[in-house]
């Protein structure tokens, strides 16, 4: 199996209604967005997006998986996705050090959960695409900044509180 790794700082929402992702429950393929914060309606920090293939703006980030450990978890089938939830804490015994791709500042993050976006074909499961090409599956490894203490606190703050590592598989 071939994997492509992409890092992004983004807050994302996962559809649980159908095979095609959208933002309108009226269209039958997305959640009710009326309860989302106003920043989710601006289109500047939300999924799905098409990532253009271009020269990197910063050097590659080396990821270390040394601090991940076994943990109890809950698996949920949400229709279009499967989500693995670690109870808001995650299987990280220690925070991971990760450089911010825009500033280079070292951030301490904890791994908290991982949803999968799955498709009914080999081409349509991922939320994100690269140069217009989507993948059969996408895994998000969601982390929160250690300074917030929990996933729930980080989500309340919103912007710049989560780090998501996206893994597209075909």
Non-local CB neighbours of 51 within 8 Å, separated by 6+ positions: 6, 128, 129, 130, 131
pLDDT band per the 50, 70, 90 thresholds, residue 13: very low
pLDDT band per the 50, 70, 90 thresholds, residue 87: low
- Kindly state the average pLDDT of the residues 119-137: 78
| Percentage of the residues of the chain whose pLDDT score is greater than 90 | 0
pLDDT band per the 50, 70, 90 thresholds, residue 67: low
Token pair listed for 77: 């089938």
Parallel/antiparallel/unpaired status of strands 81-85 and 74-77: antiparallel
Phi, psi of 96 (to 5 degrees): -90, 145
| Percentage of the residues of the chain whose pLDDT score is greater than 70 | 56
Residue bearing the bigger pLDDT, 12 or 26: 26
- Kindly state the average pLDDT of the residues 25-34: 56
pLDDT value, residue 59: 74
Token pair listed for 35: 């309860």
């Amino acid at each position: 199996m071939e994997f492509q790794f992409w890092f992004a700082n983004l807050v994302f929402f996962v559809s649980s209604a159908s095979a095609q992702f959208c933002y309108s429950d009226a269209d039958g393929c997305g959640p009710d967005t009326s309860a989302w914060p106003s920043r989710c309606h601006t289109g500047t920090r939300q999924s799905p997006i098409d990532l253009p293939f271009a020269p990197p703006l910063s050097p590659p980030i080396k990821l270390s998986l040394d601090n991940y450990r076994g943990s109890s978890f809950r698996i949920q089938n949400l229709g279009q996705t499967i989500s693995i939830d670690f109870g808001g804490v995650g299987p990280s015994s220690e925070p991971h050090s990760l450089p911010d791709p825009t500033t280079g500042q070292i951030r301490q993050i904890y791994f908290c959960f991982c949803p999968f976006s799955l498709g009914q074909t080999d081409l349509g499961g991922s939320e994100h695409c690269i140069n217009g090409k989507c993948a059969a599956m996408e895994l998000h490894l969601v982390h929160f900044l250690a300074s917030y203490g929990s996933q729930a606190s980080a989500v309340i703050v919103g912007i710049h509180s989560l780090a998501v590592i996206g893994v597209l598989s075909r």
